[in-house]
Amino acid sequence: DAKTTQPPSMDCAEGRAANLPCNHSTISGNEYVYWYRQIHSQGPQYIIHGLKNNETNEMASLIITEDRKSSTLILPHATLRDTAVYYCIVTIKAAGNKLTFGGGTRVLVKP
């Protein structure tokens, strides 16, 4: 699986959009970008995934650059409950989803 690089931490104001970057410059053509988050004392929670097109669901939007070497997870209106560690993971489709979690970005939403 391709390696990902994320900032270790970031703060966000409640009600504002949170933009979480992820670099994956060695991504290959059949690798998906997945985002998970882990709220304190809970298991990781799936947020969204994509291959090359931008994706949106009820939780977030995923913007993938045209060259696919980086992506941004957007939480449109951050709430205090969005405080968590956010993991960006790149994995090939046929890997059986054995995901490798890196250090992630610790996001603190402040009132």
Binding site for other proteins (CB under 8 A): 32, 34, 36, 41-46, 49, 87, 93-104
Least gap, CB of 49 to other proteins (angstroms): 6
Query: Based on CB atoms, which residue is closest to other proteins, 25 or 97?
Result: 97
Give the residue with the Cβ less far from other proteins, 21 or 102.
102
Nearer to other proteins, 15 or 103 (CB): 103
Distances (CA, A) of 87 to 5, 104, 111: 10, 4, 23
Long-range contacts of 73-76 (CB under 8 A, 24+ apart): 73/19, 73/20, 73/22, 73/35, 73/47, 73/48, 74/17, 74/18, 74/19, 74/20, 75/12, 75/17, 75/18, 75/20, 76/17
Q: Give min distance, CB of 83 to other proteins, in A.
A: 16
* Cβ nearer to other proteins, comparing 14 with 49: 49
Shortest Å distance, C-beta 3 to other proteins: 13
Indicate the residue type of 59. Answer: M
